[in-house]
Amino acid sequence: MSNNILVTGGAGYIGSQICKSLKNEGFNPIVFDNLIYGHKWAVKWGDFIKGDLLDRDSIFKVLEKCNFYAVIHLASYAYVSESIENPAKYYRNNIVGAINLLDAMLENNVKNIIFSSTCATYGAPDAIPIKENDLQKPINPYGSSKLAVEKIIKDYHRAYNFKYSILRYFNAAGADLDGEIGEYHTPETHLIPLVIRAAFDKKYTLKIYGNDYKTTDGTTIRDYIHVVDLANAHTLSLKKIKNTGNSFCLNLGANFGLSVMQIINHVELLTNKKVKYEVVSRRVGDPTILIADNNSAKEEIGWTPKYSNISQILNSAIEWYVKNY
């Protein structure tokens, strides 16, 4: 049985960390990325193929040339605000690209897939923490595009016997514990690197999008999961599929939420620096609270977050920022 794993979007923040985890566990990751948002310097644990999933011929050729055991599919656009402004871009890239990949897999008898999904498929949840069987009702095109791909994968499972692990990420954060890779987005929209930037860069002012939510301090609450924990869940999922042939959907979060203001306060405490911020209008498509129930991940793949204490997350992110900015 081949140990080759195709990682679409493997040159990105999460994908590169997954490749490191795969390599450490004896798999051979091969990255397929168009480098629009990914970085060639982040590909350190396997071969690299430049390509785009919207180029149907290119992904078919990759799967024809190499014997893959499974695909880990991360390649997608992931900016919520942009998806609202330009939904066509998101539906075309995220859904059509996924169909091209799945068809190439089917053609070449590669029927194991781990899909990078998102808590955005739940929209504004009715209950907290969120369970996997809770109603999925996305409130932005990004979440809708991911939910559509989830449904397509399940249809390929029923019709063609695909095995899948659908992993719904909450808020990935932190940096590699060895300092080898970390968060570097252009543009950067994630809260934690922006708060850290505001602590160190006195010319930069952080924007807080609304302080009138129904939370203790009025700012939104999110569940932050260390990127190393997130990456390890993919390796565990791969092993579970390999050993049992099971298919499953799992939430990947820490089962604990922090508000925007709490993150700011933690960063100020850890850096001994003030974070300059201003409150602006709410963003369209931002739910008030997103916190995962992660019990299914514990039961299904034996996954428990090890590094997702907020101090561990922030310290690793701060170290990465100081070293690289």
Task: Show which residues are catalytic.
Answer: 142
Cβ 211 vs Cβ 279: under 8 Å: yes
Distances, alpha carbon 159 to alpha carbons 147, 228, 237, 248, in Å: 18, 34, 22, 16
- Choose among 4, 10, 17: nearest CA to 252: 17
Cβ 319 vs Cβ 179: under 8 Å: yes
**What SS3 string covers 74-106?**
CCCCCCHHHHHHCHHHHHHHHHHHHHHHHHHHH
CA 145 – CA 88 distance, rounded (Å) = 10
> Cα-atom radius of gyration of the chain, to the nearest Å?
19
Q: Please name the residues in contact with 268: beta carbons below 8 A apart, sequence gap of 6 or more.
A: 199, 274, 275
